Amino acid sequence: MKRTFALIVAVAAAAALFGGLVHAVLVAAHVSEPAATTVRGMTPQRLWASAGAAVALIGAVIGGRAVARPAGSIAAGSGRRGALVALVMGPIGLVSGGLILASADGGPGTGNGVVGGAAAVVLGLIGTVLGGLVLARSRRTAVRLR
């Protein structure tokens, strides 16, 4: 029961932190003001932002799995291979989100995909950092084994 409660609190804290980081990216990009009229439906910019966020999310998840798993594990997303995947997919999502934010001419609700772009930036940074940590850890392990 205590472990379940701790997991729920940790997930809630991570979601709040993620939301705060996305808002901070929107404020930094000067696109945090909501639109006067809301555009509904999928626009090309929203599709691009969603794709960038999905790529960045995959990079962050694989980077997280690589951090959590030992380097000798055979499972996908572990060790050096997982770090390399996270180091490729994270920056792709990061750049994609940055381009969305740079080309946006309005805030959330304008159809420009700024929320997805900000999420891609945050998730891309997370994936890149996690991949770098695993890669550094695998290099230290290789040096110790020599």
**CA–CA distance from 118 to each of 71, 91, 101, 137 (Å)?**
31, 13, 7, 29
Nearest alpha carbon to residue 78 among 131, 143, 145: 131
- Range from 97-106, 123-132, 136-145 that averages highest in pLDDT: 123-132
Its pTM stands at 0.79
Q: What is the pLDDT of residues 85-116, one digit of tens each?
A: 999 999 999 999 999 988 888 778 888 888 89
Alpha helices (H) in the chain, listed in sequence order: 2-28, 44-68, 79-103, 114-145
What is the distance between the alpha carbons of residues 50 and 24, in angstroms, rounded to a whole number? 19
Q: How confident is the model at residue 36 (pLDDT cuts 50, 70, 90)?
A: confident
- CA 21 to chain centroid, in Å, comes to 11
